[in-house]
Homo-oligomer: A and B are copies of this chain.
Amino acid sequence: MKVTVSRKAHFNAAHRLYRKDWSMEKNDQVFGKCNNPNFHGHNYELIVSVTGQINPETGYLIDIKDLVDIIYEEVELKFDHKNLNLDVPEFQELNPTAENIVVVIWNKIRKKIPSEMDLEITLYETPRNFVTYKGE
């Protein structure tokens, strides 16, 4: 019996959308007010979903406490109360759009999840804008 177990988490961060190799005009044209050089920020909400077989001995797919710890170490500790552009190495050269952030988070958590389980991540940048990645 294959189930999906999901855990919600969150982190607060500042970011700016722009490319260093583009002019301010081009960045403004493409990224609009998200290109504020002084940054803006979000309460990011995260849903981490793991899919696999239920362990018949425990009735668990995965111990939710282990999932909470993985999210804390890989995401909250690194991203919470940070400036994504300046404080997080993965975004030194990568534009921190919601699309790119969700892929980075997926790669970080993927390493910690047993390989026989599938992983899907949804990232809410605002309550009305969100992005999902499943490693495909």
Chain A residues close to B by CB (< 8 Å): 1-10, 12-15, 17, 19, 30-34, 36, 38-43, 49, 54, 57-61, 63-65, 80-83, 86-87, 94-100, 102-103, 126-133, 136
**A interface, over-half SS:** mixed
- Give the top 5 A-B pairs by smallest Cβ distance, nearest first: A41-B41, A38-B83, A59-B97, A59-B95, A14-B14
- Whole-angstrom distance between the alpha carbons of A19 and B60 in the complex? 12
- Whole-angstrom distance between the alpha carbons of A14 and B60 in the complex? 18
CB pair B8 A128 closer than 8 Å:
yes
Shortest Cβ gap from A125 to chain B (Å): 8
Shortest Cβ gap from A126 to chain B (Å): 5
CB pair A30 B14 closer than 8 Å:
no
- Whole-angstrom distance between the alpha carbons of A129 and B12 in the complex? 13
